[in-house]
Amino acid sequence: MYKTLFKPALFITLANYIGGALLFIANMLLANQFGPEDFGTFKVVIALFSFLPSLVDLGAGATLVRYISHYRDQRVYPLILKFVRLMFWVYSGLTLGMFFIRGPIAGFFLKDFNQAGLIAAGILLFALSYLELFKQIAIGFQKFKIYAFSQMLTFAVMGLASYFLGRQFGIFWAIIGWASGYLLGNIVCLLFFFKKNIRESGEDALEFKSVFLSYSIPMYLMVIPGLIGLVAIPVLSVFFNQKLIGYLSFAMIFYQAAISIPTAFSTVLFPKFSGLSNQGQELKQLVKKSILLYTPIAIFGSICCLLLSFGIISSFFPAYRDSILIFNFLVIYAFISGYLLIGRAYFSGTSRLKQLAILTFCQNIGLLITAAAAVYLVFRGS
C-alpha cells in the first residue's frame, strides 16, 4: 500500500517542487523588482483570474477524476467528451463577456479604470486555464507521471516567463507570461488525451445528464461556499491599500509553497479513496497511515517558520519586513490545513458531499479570516 500510495505522492511532490521552485524564485524576484504596491497589483489580477476557473468549474474536474478512476474504460468516454465540450463553451462565453466590462473590473479591484489593460491580460489567463481540465483527465486514468510532469512544466513556464517578461516590460507582460504556463504546461496532457482516442460511443455508456445532475451539480453547489479563501487577495484589496496587499501577496507565495506537500498527497488519495470506497477496513487504514505520515511534516514546518522567518525576510526582502506577522500566520495555517486536505480527499472519494462541503468551507473561510486578521493587525500597527 505504501508503494502504490506514497511513491506516486513523492513523485508528484518532487515534480511540484521542481517547477514550484522556479515559480517561487520568480515571485521573489518580481516582489523585489515591483515593490509592495506594484507587486500587490500584479497579484490581485493573478489571484482574481486564477480563482474564476474554480467558480465556473460546475463540478467537472471532480466528476471526471471520480468516474474515470472508477471505470477507466469506454463506458466513461462519452462523459469525458461532453464535459470537455461543455466547459469549452462556458469558458468562451465568460471570456467574451468579461472583456467588455474590463474597465469596471479594474475600477473595482485595482481602484483605477485606466488599468483595464491589466484586466485584459488576466482574462487571457482565465481563458487558457480551461486546459487544466485535461490534467483532471490524466489523474482520473491515474497517469500520475503525466500529471506530475505537466504540473512541473506549468509552474516552470509561469515562473520563467512571468519573470523575464515582467522584468523587461512590466506588469502587463508578467501576467501574459503567467498565462502562457497554462498553454505550454498542459501540452503533455492534451497529447495523452488525443492518444487515448476517446470516442463518443461505447457500450453501457454513462449518461451525462444523470451524472451531471446527481454528482456534478451537488458537488459544485456544496463546494462553492468553500471558495471564499481563494479570493483572499482580491477581496481584501477592496478594503486595504496596495502596499498591504503586496505584503499579503508576498506571504501567500510561502503559503502556497507550504501547502503543496499535502496537496500532492490529496491528489493521489482522491482516486485511491474512490477505488476503496466499498472496502471499509482498507480505507480506514489508508486514512490513518496518511495522517501519521503527514504529522511530522506539519510540526517540523511550523517550527522552522517561527524560527527562521524574521532572519530570512529581514536579510533578503527588507522591503517586506513589516509582513513578517502575515507571513507566520499564513505559513502555519498552511501546515494545519494539510489535515483538512486529506479529509477532503477522503470525503470526495467516498461521495460524502455534505461533509466535503463543510470541510472545504472551514478550510477556505479559515484562510480568509487568518489573512484578514493578519493584515488588519499590521494595518493597526503601522
Chain center to CA of 121: 19
Neighbouring C-beta atoms of residue 2, cutoff 10 Å: 9
Amino acid 8: pLDDT: 60
Global pTM value: 0.76
Angle at 315 between CA 312 and CA 319, to 5 degrees: 100
Question: Cα 249 to chain center, whole Å?
Answer: 15
DSSP state of 212: I
Distance CA 131, CA 146 (A): 14
Alpha helices in the chain (DSSP H): 2-55, 60-71, 77-100, 102-109, 116-128, 133-140, 144-169, 171-185, 187-195, 208-211, 217-223, 232-237, 242-275, 280-316, 324-349, 353-381
Per-residue model confidence as pLDDT tens for the chain (382 residues): 445 555 566 666 666 667 778 888 888 889 888 888 888 899 999 989 988 888 888 888 888 888 887 776 677 788 888 888 999 999 999 999 999 999 999 988 888 888 899 999 999 999 999 999 999 888 888 787 888 888 889 988 998 999 999 999 989 999 999 999 999 999 999 998 888 877 766 555 677 788 888 888 887 877 676 677 677 888 888 888 888 888 898 888 888 878 877 777 676 766 666 655 555 666 677 777 778 878 888 888 888 888 888 888 888 888 888 888 898 999 999 988 888 888 877 777 676 777 777 887 888 888 888 989 999 988 887 6
pLDDT of residue 320: 87
Indicate if the alpha-carbon torsion angle 236, 252, 122, 139 is positive or negative. negative
How far is residue 109's CA from residue 44's CA, in Å, rounded to a whole number?
Answer: 8
The SS3 of residue 68 is: helix
Longest dimension (CA), the chain: 66
Is 43 in contact with 245 (CB distance < 8 Å)? yes
Which grid cell sits at 149?
510532469
- In the DSSP assignment, the letter for residue 111 is S
Q: For position 278, what pLDDT does the model report?
A: 55
Contact (Cβ atoms closer than 8 angstroms) between residue 1 and residue 279: no
Helix (H) or strand (E) holding 76: none
Distance CA 368, CA 378 (A): 15
How far apart are the C-alpha atoms of 37 and 248, rounded to whole Å?
11
Amino acid in position 128:
L
Listed residue (346, 373, 370) closest to 358, CA to CA: 346
Q: Among residues 96, 120, 100, which one has the least CA distance to residue 110?
A: 120
C-alpha cell at 315: 536579510
Please provide residue 57's backbone torsions phi and psi, each rounded to the nearest 5 degrees.
Answer: -65, -30
pLDDT at 358: 81
Q: Which residues contact 150 (CB under 8 A, 6 or more apart)?
A: 135, 138, 185, 186, 187, 188, 189
